[in-house]
Amino acid sequence: MSVRNYIDTYLKGWELGDGALSLSVTADSFCYDDPNTGRIPRHEFVQFVEDFKTAAVEMGGAVNANPFLKYTDVVIKDNELPATVWCWWHAVGTELEGCALVKVGETGVLHEKIAYFSSLPEQQD
């Protein structure tokens, strides 16, 4: 499978909320970094995706949202390995959004690190 196919499949899994699909193109050393939950090892990734979907439902998202995530501003730099993917994501039906940085090598997706976007609290006079 090509690096571009790894990228497309991985992102499609997240778009559909299908952790197993995303996991299918990860390298054995894959890990996912979330600022709220910490580092998620490969063997816990599918459950993490399910928990993430549950959190989105609690924030107003549909139970079986399709798509689950919408991506905008996807930037792929694959002229050298590991390839770098940066994108802005939004959980459909919620205010949950942020950015993701994904590294992809010849053996699959190596790492993803996300950040959440949030408005600052209103200033008190």
Which residue, 60, 73, 69, is CA-closest to 16? 69
Q: How many CB atoms lie within 10 A of CB 29?
A: 12
60 found inside a domain? yes
Q: How far is it, in rounded angstroms, from Cα 112 to Cα 40?
A: 10
Tell me the torsion sign for CA atoms 61, 5, 101, 29.
positive
124 found inside a domain? no
Domain holding 99, by residue range, is 3-117
32 found inside a domain? yes
pLDDT tens, residue by residue, 85-98: 999 999 999 999 99
How many residues are there in the chain?
Answer: 125
pLDDT at 122: 77
pLDDT tens, residue by residue, 18-49: 999 999 999 999 999 999 999 999 999 999 99
pLDDT at 120: 67
- Tokens matching residue 108: 């699959």
Q: Tell me the whole-structure pTM to 2 decimals.
A: 0.92
Contact 3, 77 (CB under 8 A): no
83 found inside a domain? yes
80 found inside a domain? yes
For residue 121, name the pLDDT band (cuts at 50, 70, 90).
confident
CATH number at residue 86: 3.10.450.50
Q: How many domains does the chain have?
A: 1
Q: pLDDT at residue 123 above 80?
A: no
48 found inside a domain? yes
